[in-house]
Amino acid sequence: MKKTLVLTVNGERHELQVSADATLLRVLRDELGLYGTKRGCDTSACGCCTVHVDGNSVYACAVYALSVDGSAVTTIEGLGNGDRLDPLQDAFIRAGAVQCGYCTCGMIMSARELLAGTPKPDEEQIRHAIAGNLCRCTGYTKIVDAIKMAAGS
Amino acid sequence: MGGADLIGKSVTRPDALDKVTGGRGYPVNVNLPGMLHGKLLRSPYAHARVRRIDTSEAQRLPGVKAILTARDVPQIPFCPVYFVPSDGETLIRDMLILGDHVRFAGQPVAAVAAISEAIAEAALALIDVDYEELPAVFDPEQAMADGAPQLHDGVARNIAKNPSFEFGDVEAGFAEADHIFEGVYQTQRVHTCYMEPRVCVIDCDRDGHFTVHSSMQHIFGLREKLAYALGIDESRVTVMKPPYIGGGFGGKLDMGYIEPLAALLSQKTRRPVRIEQTRYEDFICTTRNPIKMWLKTGVKADGTITARQAKSILDSGAHATHGAQVIMVHGLFGMTFPYRCPNKKWEGFTVYTNNIIGGGYRGYGAPQGCFAVESQIDEICEKLGLDPIEFRIRNALRKGDPHPFNPAWTLNSYGYEEALRRGAERIGWATRKPAGSSSGVRKRGIGVGTQGIWVSGCMGFPDIYEHTGAIVKLNRDGTADVATGTVDIGSGAITALSQIAAAELGIGVDKVRLVSASTDTVPFDAPTHASRVTYSSGLAIKAAAAEAKKRVFEIAAGLLEANPDDLEMIDAQVRVKGSPQSSLALTEVIRVAETPFIKDTLAGPRPSSPPQYKGTIMGSSSLAPPENPSPAAAMFAEVEVDTETGQVKVLRCVYAHDLGRLINPNGAEGQVEGGIQQGLGYALMENLVFDQDNGACLSADFLDYKMPTAVEMPRVIESIFVETNEPSGPFGAKSLSEQCVTVPAAAIAAAVYNAIGVRITELPITPERVLRALGKL
Amino acid sequence: MALPELKEFCRPQSAAELSSVFETYADGALFVAGGTFVHGLEARGLLSGVQALVDLRRMGLDTVSADDRGWRVGATVNFTRLGKMPGIDAPAFGALRDALACPPPQIRNMATIGGSIAASVPFFDVPAALLALDAVVITGTGVASRELPLAGVYTGLFTNSLAPGEYISSVFVPRPAARTASAYLKLETNANDLALIGVAVRVTMDASRRISDPRVVLGGGLNATHIRSAAAEAVLKGATASEELFQRAAEAIGTEIKPMSDHRCSAEYRAAMGKVYVRRALQRAIDRLV
């Protein structure tokens, strides 16, 4: 049975009909074409699908879409301002924190939540804030560097 | 900036902007009109025969468009490994797209295409399969015993491959030794854990031509294997090169079941078919093979190795796949080549079991060997009171030695000793304490692991492709399009290859673009594997760029009234060497080449420039590299072991590597840091485990398969790059990627020994194993 | 999150609506809040026949209040909000702070206090801490309500004493006595793991270091459910805090645990670590008082 779902995604209101088992991840990718949110595991453990719901980071693969009816969702496509990158996006490029890049968007979304609450995090705070995001390419070193760079710390 | 001064600069990755803003280029994003979704039905049994499959109920489910079982697919045995010729005389072809003999839990027995994934999934549940369960064997040594269940017809004792070699006289070598050391070293099954799942979208058109989008490390390999398994000509398959893929690490070096099944489902439905693997399916489709190695070494009192003998048993799982190649690389590069020793003997066994199939994984047999060889060296040095650094240098090969892989080649660049000495100095080796001597509950230790001889590609390997090519084309705006089949799997190929092209052409790296390509449009290219891209693809791109530049000089020489040999290109200006005032913008040369022969001026038509100047300026190459130069690596780890819990924390790593010439420092550091994440996981935690009764995977998601997060990684990773300037390499470069994954386990194991005075010879070094080794369990 | 029989995702806004959903689906209804572990249970074959997911988060179960007696926390309050409860910085709530810090932010923002209890997973962190804090669970069914100590909720691995149709509406966490501290310690393979073992302790200690009203809670695979170790608590009660005492308390758990062996580690290792972690957790708690 499909039900109506109203979501505001990156500031734009959407009204959709979705089935009971639809996850937020599927809706973002398959219904709204927001490919920046990636499926890595579908079991809330890799972090590639990290987005913000009402400002808080969540695993979109573990969120039933209908459970967040009426919420505001921010994905990687919603960061920055027009052509201006979010400072984290810019720092990830400059620090060399991007390799295969598949984890990158989720990583940036986790880091964005961290910096919103803790503008000048120390290294341990950064590492724990991204502990729910796996990366197989970078060893996290340059990701941590990038977050420090964006925080100016 | 443009020219050779680009080499050694940390330029920004051309693909980074796209990736931080969403990353459109991943194959997982390919979405074609009318696309169907495929799902595979997988056997719950590890060893079974399919008696009968009834798909009738599934066929009737609305939305189901096609179902395939064994009788619907070609029964052509194939080998899925991309880089070996499909028809090789000694190649083991033991897989079918679908067959009636199930050899591992999770092997597909049917495939469905439907209008949605959910319907395809629902259809699977409606397929009724009648299995006859067969006795299964999961331990390779048991599989080699008399009376064990046989997996493949005509393969006695389940031994798929049994290579061996002998140099010198091992018995005499051991007789000459003052001390003999023996040990058994066991490694586990681990997964590459690329983050982007394996996925494909395949479209078969009315003419029976297949267009393939897939997340893989080799477009030409997929074309060849797919055509072979389907029994069609290669020219009927076009594999599109993805702009990039979400990691591979060797885990996407073989055709999966999904590609031939998607192709056949598309052929049957006349619609594009997409199959995306779940993480569970990813976990069971490729692994690094576990190897058990018996190693015996004879040494003289002064630390000279006199003889070495080893036996290795590789658990290949249900099919040979990479196992037949991995065992050779393991025996040669893992055991035989790195140290000088006149008397060596080795025998390897690639053994079928009812475990899941293996695959490629960074290091390709070397990590298993390195762990054994380096652990034993650490033990030898400890027992004989020798310094592990000096012992290694005494027995290592040196610059100028013949290459052990091919004596016709010389080790023209080889910085093993320098890497080892610089790393030792950085970690503070001189301050290392005797093993187990630190007090307290948490004990610290320092260890080293090295690998001498390794590859820059596969030149010289029997039946492994290595040739590669590129097309470099100059545009009117002064930019260069570089087309190559080399897939960027995350390692920064796009960046390094852009730098090489720009450096050769004498233009800015921002003026170079790695453009879209497919098997239709570019010369054959070997896969992105074997640490080969910077060296081999780099040489091909440099050659193609050089050819384009030569054409620029031919035209410019006429325009400047100079000799082409006297010209150089710097900062997109063609100049007469030594007379910089006599120069011409590259764009002007291109304009001359691209404008019509007759120019229509206000004064009437006039010849613009001679006809021999006309035509797009381009260069192409297709070549095999001349050699296979060896890098060298030494890693030092400092660990802290909690002797009450057995937990090991890696505090600091120093990794020193001879890569010939550094092309992109930031990218090279990234390779090392990521390699150490994989090596640390291999050393301490990663393990794909299976139910020993039924072969079911117990660690098929990231809740159970543990790899290091940012929290477990050392806070300090220091890279030292030794530049020995390899004469055969592009701008002196050779390879980097794999050794940084190969050496960490040995270094960490040695550091654990140094901390607690007890040696662990089985990976992963879990807290429980440490505690047991300490006698506390 | 493949639940093949799933028909409906329900979002009741009242107990009456919830009752009607339950009447329709009965055993086919699965109550969820954050839903972060649905896939974990599903992937391990522990969910079958789920026809309706019933999201409890619109039923007004997300209020919090604090008074002299303690906190009353709505069942659907998530970990992030729980971590901001007034007074949580006190040593007494150390175990809860420790436990809440374990999961990654993506889980903390979704997982709820009620869900973490109702899932009945011994490998979870927060229930261990709540047990050490004597939490009381208040349940509802739409028509009736009852209170039961958290310790009375668990009946076995993934099973609990909640009746069909009964859901957790709130959790009461009593205000701990003065000079009380608690701590939670977890053995894990990486920072995003279920506990191999988890130990929560609570002690009240007077000026002469005499311990009263101790709690020792054992989780992870030390038993099929989170349990309190009466034996360890008996050793601690009335005794003077010391390393030696903590060691004796740790040894005492040996008779009460039934550790499991699985692919992650052996029962023997879990048993040994249980002892180390009881001692270390006690020390960590005490350190918060000095």
- Nearest residue to B423 (alpha-carbon basis) of B654, B637, B633, B638: B654
Tell whether the model's pLDDT for residue B198 goes beyond 90. Answer: yes
Is B116 in CB contact (< 8 Å) with chain C? Answer: no
The reported pLDDT for the residue numbered C2 is 75
Asked if A45 is an interface residue toward chain C (Cβ–Cβ < 8 A), one would say yes
Rounded average pLDDT over B276-292: 97
CATH class of B396-461+628-777: alpha beta
Q: What number is the average pLDDT over the span B346-359?
A: 97
Write the CA distances from B294 to B49, B187, B304, B350, integer angstroms: 35, 12, 20, 15
The predicted structure's pLDDT at residue B311: 98
Across chain B, mean pLDDT equals 97
Chain A: nearest CA to B513, how far in angstroms?
A: 18
Contact at CB, C269 and B685, closer than 8 angstroms: no
**Numbered ranges of CATH 3.30.390.50 in chain C:** 180-287
Residues in chain B: 777
Sheet of strand C136-140, all strands in order from the earlier edge strand to the far edge = C64-66, C70-74, C167-174, C136-140, C145-149
Question: Where does the pLDDT of residue C290 fall: very low under 50, low under 70, confident under 90, or very high at 90 and above?
Answer: confident
Is the per-residue pLDDT at A83 higher than 90?
Answer: no
Decide which of 3.20.20.70, 1.20.140.90, 3.40.190.10, 3.30.390.50 is the CATH code for C180-287.
3.30.390.50
Average pLDDT over residues B473-501: 96
Q: Start-end ranges of CATH 3.30.465.10 in chain C?
A: 64-174
pLDDT in tens, C226-242: 999 999 999 999 999 99
Q: What is the pLDDT of residue B265?
A: 98
Residue B261, classed as helix, strand or coil, is helix
> Which of C106, C125, C188, C192 is best to mutate for the A interface (most A CBs within 10 A)?
C106
Structure tokens at B342: 């006149």
Q: Say what the pLDDT of residue C180 is.
A: 98
Q: Is the pLDDT of residue A94 over 90?
A: yes
**B246 chain-A contacts, CB cut-off 8 A:** 38, 100-102
Please compute the mean of the pLDDT values over residues B471-496 and round it to a whole number: 96
Does the structure show a pLDDT above 90 at B131? yes
Name the nearest CA neighbour of B357 among B427, B289, B453.
B289
List of chain B residues whose C-beta atoms are within 8 Å of the C-beta of residue C273: 645
User: Angle CA(B395)–CA(B397)–CA(B400) in degrees, nearest 5?
Assistant: 145
DSSP label of C68:
S
| CA gap A26, A42 in Å, rounded | 10
Does the model's ipTM exceed the 0.90 cut? yes
Report the neighbours of C using a cutoff of 3 or more CB pairs below 8 angstroms: A, B
Of 3.90.1150.10, 1.10.150.120, 3.40.720.10, 3.40.50.1100, the CATH number of A87-151 is 1.10.150.120
Torsion of CA B404, B409, B410, B415, to 10 degrees: -70
- Identify the H or E element spanning B747: helix B744-756
Q: For residue C39, list chain A residues with Cβ-Cβ distance below 8 A.
A: 42-44, 61-62
CA A136 to chain C, closest CA, distance in angstroms equals: 14
3-state SS, one letter per residue, for B220-248: HHHHHHHHHHHCCCHHHEEEECCCCCCCC
The pLDDT confidence band at residue B302, using thresholds 50, 70 and 90, is very high
Say yes or no to pLDDT of B1 above 70. Answer: no
Mean pLDDT for chain C overall: 95
Q: C194 to chain B: which residues are within 8 Å by CB?
A: 703
Domain with CATH 3.30.43.10 in chain C: 8-58
Give the pLDDT confidence of A2-16 residue by residue, as tens digits.
Answer: 999 999 999 999 999
Pick the CATH number of B31-134+195-247+252-283 from 3.90.1170.50, 3.40.30.10, 3.40.1280.10, 3.40.1180.10: 3.90.1170.50
How far, in Å, CA of B540 to CA of B439, rounded? 56
CATH class of B4-22+467-623: alpha beta
| Chain B residue at shortest CA distance from A36 | B22
Confidence band of B2 (pLDDT split at 50, 70, 90): low
Residue B20's Cβ-count burial label (10 Å; 0-12, 13-18, 19+) is buried
Average pLDDT (C154-161) is 95
Q: How confident is the model at residue C1 (pLDDT cuts 50, 70, 90)?
A: low
Q: Is the pTM of this model over 0.95?
A: yes
**Which residues are CB-contacts of B16 (< 8 A; sequence separation ≥ 6)?**
A92, A93, A98, A101
CATH topology classification for A3-78: Ubiquitin-like (UB roll) (3.10.20)
CA–CA distance, B388 with C215 (Å, rounded to integer)? 51
Distance CA B209, CA A51 (A): 40
Which chain A residue has the Cα nearest residue C110?
A: A58
Would you state the structure tokens that stand for residue B480, as one six-digit string?
């260069």
Give the E-state strand segments of chain A in sequence order: 3-9, 12-18, 50-53, 56-59, 72-74
Residue A51 CB-half CA count within 13 A: 34
Residue C143: which pLDDT band, with cuts at 50, 70 and 90? confident
The one-letter code for the residue type at C150 is L
Question: B570 forms bridges with which residues in the sheet?
Answer: B573
Q: CA-CA distances (angstroms) from residue B705 to A45, B287, B441, C41?
A: 10, 13, 28, 16
C64-174: CATH topology is 3.30.465
Residues of chain B with CATH 3.30.365.10: 4-22+467-623, 396-461+628-777
Q: Is the pLDDT of residue B315 over 60?
A: yes
Question: By CA distance, what is B684's nearest residue in C?
Answer: C189
- Total residue length of chain C: 290
How would residue C43 be classed by pLDDT, with cut points 50, 70 and 90?
confident
Partners of B652 in the beta sheet? B638, B716
3-state secondary structure of B85: coil
Stretch B88-104: mean pLDDT: 97
pLDDT at B89 over 90: yes
pLDDT at res. A92: 98
Q: What pLDDT shows up at residue B598?
A: 94
Mean pLDDT of B575-588: 94
- What number is the average pLDDT over the span C6-29? 93
What dotted CATH number matches C8-58?
A: 3.30.43.10
**Candidates C39, C57, C101; nearest CB to A44:** C39
CB B266 within 8 A of CB B137: no
Which of B706, B713, B769 best probes binding to C when mutated, by most C CB atoms within 10 angstroms?
B706
pLDDT surpasses 90 at B550: yes
Interface test with A, best of C9, C11, C56 (most A CBs within 10 A): C9
Helices B665-684 and B744-756, axial angle in degrees (round to 10) = 60
Residue B74 has what pLDDT? 98
Q: Where are the alpha helices (DSSP H) in B694-743?
A: 739-742
Phi, psi angles (nearest 5°) of residue B203: -125, 120
**B201-259: pLDDT as tens digits:** 999 999 999 999 999 999 999 999 999 999 999 999 999 999 999 999 999 999 999 99
Domain boundaries, chain A: 3-78, 87-151
Q: What sections of B244-307 are H helices per DSSP?
A: 258-269, 279-283
The pair of structure tokens assigned to B657 is 């590597």
The answer to whether the CB atoms of B685 and C190 lie below 8 A apart is yes
CA distance A20 to C6: 7
Strand segments (E) across chain C: 8-10, 29-32, 52-55, 64-66, 70-74, 136-140, 145-149, 154-156, 159-160, 167-174, 180-187, 197-205, 211-220, 227-228
The pLDDT tens digits of the residues spanning B604-641 come to 999 989 999 999 999 999 999 999 999 999 999 999 99
- C178 confidence band (pLDDT: 50, 70, 90): very high
For residue B556, the distance in angstroms to the closest alpha carbon of chain A comes to 38
Each residue's pLDDT tens digit, A17-31: 999 999 999 999 999
The Cα-based distances of B651 to B267, B408, B738 in angstroms read 55, 43, 22
